[in-house]
Amino acid sequence: MEVTTADTQATEIREAAKKIITVPPDSFALCPVRDILDRIGDKWSLLSILHLGSTDSLRFNELRKRITGISQRMLTVTLRALETDGLVARTVYAEVPPRVEYALTGLGQSLLAAVIELGNWAAAHAPAIAEARERMGRVAA
């Protein structure tokens, strides 16, 4: 990695960050990024998107089993929110017992790519974070 390239990249990244957090003053509401992060920026949404992205579609209880630790209520709430935002499609089959399938929409798929980046980062830097936590833990103790 040449230094100049790295520097240029760093500046670009900073500019990108600036652009995102800049509120368009003529916008009727607050900046869309802020609004959207409010909605999808929570662990259950991100995890749901990742799990739905890893297959074609999943039934409610199957998804619940896969997202370890999520409660039934939180799963319904999360899926409903994702549905109203157009990220997840909910298909009900009129059978008994009922069968409901959830899948990412096109919009959801496009988000998936970004979430995967986040996931990859987490996987890659988990050791560094664990180390930082331990360092800090010592200080706090």
Partner DNA sequence: ACCTTTGAGTTACCAAAAGTAACCATAGGC
Partner DNA sequence: GCCTATGGTTACTTTTGGTAACTCAAAGGT
Question: CB under 8 A: which stretch of 29-37, 57-65, 71-79, 92-100 binds a second copy?
Answer: 29-37
Sign of CA dihedral 101, 72, 68, 123: positive
Question: What residues are paired with 99 via a beta bridge?
Answer: 93
Q: How many CA atoms lie within 13 A of 34 on its CB side?
A: 9
Does residue 3 bind a second copy (CB under 8 A)? no
Cis peptide, bond prior to residue 97, ω within 30 of zero: yes
Say what the alpha-carbon torsion angle 42, 46, 49, 54 is, to the nearest 10 degrees.
-160
| Residues facing residue 92 across a β-bridge | 100
Measured CA to CA, the distance from residue 85 to residue 108 in angstroms comes to 9
The answer to the question of residue 76 lying near DNA (CB under 7 A) is yes
Site membership for a second copy, residue 77 (CB under 8 A): no
Window 40-59: contact mask with DNA (x via CB under 7 A): --x-x--------------x
Q: Does 38 bind a second copy (CB under 8 A)?
A: yes
Instruction: Yes or no: say if 81 and 88 are a contact pair by the CB < 8 Å rule.
Output: no
Sole window of 30-38, 57-65, 71-79, 95-103 interacting with a second copy (rule: CB under 8 A): 30-38
| Distance of closest approach, residue 59 Cβ to a second copy, in angstroms | 17
Contact positions vs DNA (CB under 7 A): 42, 44, 59-62, 69-74, 76-77, 79, 90, 96-101
Q: Tell me which residues touch a second copy (CB under 8 A).
A: 10, 13-14, 16-21, 23, 30, 32-38, 40-43, 46-47, 50-51, 53-55, 66, 68, 83-87, 107, 109-123, 125-126, 128-129, 131-133, 135-137, 140
